[in-house]
Amino acid sequence: MTYQDTQRRYGVISLLFHWTMALLIIVQFMALGGYINEGEHWIGNNIVPWHVDIGLLLLVLVSLRIIWMLSQRQRRPEVHGQGAMQLLAKGGHFLLYACMVLMPVTGILLMVGGGHGLGFLGIELVAESKNEIPWAVALGEWHAQISWLFVALVLGHFAAALYHHFIKHDDTLIRMTAKRFDQS
């Protein structure tokens, strides 16, 4: 198994980016638990307090991932399908990237714009302030809206992966894992 992608499969670096970020993003979706009992439950008390730290880590990861993806563009596997279906898959991947960037950016705008400041693992990055920045809050308010689009995209993406694996029996899911695809 190579570090770089090949035309047949994703390499170790792409696998690490994909699955580490997928896990952290699903953890971030737990913030939707705020709608249940006003967030007063185990997830609200133990997972959601890490939301900003994990979100900032995801911003660093997505920046590195985009650089990596651009460097592997000519090498990595072609998305399966033809015409409209291929366009849908490629458009879906593009929107997933857009959400991975926009979520942390709007989150930061919400926090800084609202005067709450910003910290990472206890290190202060932006100090609290009494002054709100109205334009930053207005843009930051898209955070919740975009999160719903993101959840829908991930569900569609998950369903597409299962469809390829269990119904079409092709290598789409396997090439995003460390396993080899066996035609038999």
- Applying CB under 6 A, the residues found at the interface with ligand HEM are 14, 18, 22, 25-26, 28-29, 31-32, 34, 51-52, 55-56, 58, 69, 77, 79-80, 93, 96-97, 100, 103-104, 107-108, 110-111, 118, 143-144, 147, 150, 154, 157-158, 161, 172-173, 175-176
The residue (of 42 and 166) whose beta carbon lies closer to ligand HEM is 166
The residue (of 130 and 173) whose beta carbon lies closer to ligand HEM is 173
The residue (of 136 and 150) whose beta carbon lies closer to ligand HEM is 150
Task: For the CB of residue 82, give the shortest distance to ligand HEM in the complex, in Å.
Answer: 13
HEC profile for the chain? Answer: CCCCCCCCCCCHHHHHHHHHHHHHHHHHHHHHHHHCHHHCCHHHHHCHHHHHHHHHHHHHHHHHHHHHHHHHCCCCCCCCCCHHHHHHHHHHHHHHHHHHHHHHHHHHHHHHHCCCCEEECCEEEECCCCCCCHHHHHHHCHHHHHHHHHHHHHHHHHHHHHHHHHHCCCCCCHHHCCCCCCCC
The residue (of 111 and 131) whose beta carbon lies closer to ligand HEM is 111
